Amino acid sequence: MLCLTTLGQNAVDCVARPPQKGEPSYELFMKEKTQVLASLKQRAELVADSFNQMKGFKCNVVQGAMYAFPQFELSPKALEAAKKAGQEPDVFYAFRLLEETGICIVAGSGFGQRPGTYHFRTTILPQPELLKEMLDILKQFHDKFTKQYS
């Protein structure tokens, strides 16, 4: 009752022991692995480049994870609006983004951050076209949010 099923054990074995050079599926495995890793690298760069072009954002290129943690600035008016709403400033931003666009991010205050700084977590996993669309929508939201609280 405590052990994996036979199917689960076989799946773990396949992941833990990928095909070796000379085995029948090695070439296909390497081709697919290379394509997946190249696509993730492209998406990581796309996310960082997009955020770094947005006013008030800084974002490192994702390395070895599926999340980006862009840091962003908030105006004193936005900070006051968050305080009136009884929310941390990055939580306020995240809820407004979700309510207005349907884009879900995780506020950085849940992970801990230096006082006076704000960031959030977002994923790089959507396919490139969907990711570009999401980043465009987020940029439009941020521009609107910034104007509203300037």
128 vs 4, more confident = 128
pLDDT at 2 over 80: no
Q: Angle, nearest 10°, between helix axes 128-148 and 89-101?
A: 120
Average pLDDT over residues 95-118: 94
pLDDT of residue 5: 81
Which tens digits make up the pLDDT trace of 121-132? Answer: 999 999 999 999
Of the CA atoms within 13 Å of residue 44, those in its CB half-sphere come to: 14
Tokens (6 digits) for 97:
């983004």
Superfamily (CATH) of domain 19-148: Aspartate Aminotransferase, domain 1 (3.90.1150.10)
Cβ–Cβ under 8 Å, residues 112 and 63: no
Percentage, residues of the chain above pLDDT 70 = 98
12-26, 40-54, 100-114, 127-141: which has the minimum mean pLDDT?
A: 12-26
Q: How confident is the model at residue 4, as a pLDDT?
A: 65
Question: 134 vs 11, which has greater pLDDT?
Answer: 134
State both tokens at 117. 């700084």
Residues 109 and 122 sit within 8 Å (Cβ to Cβ): no
Whether 111 shows a pLDDT value over 80: the answer reads yes
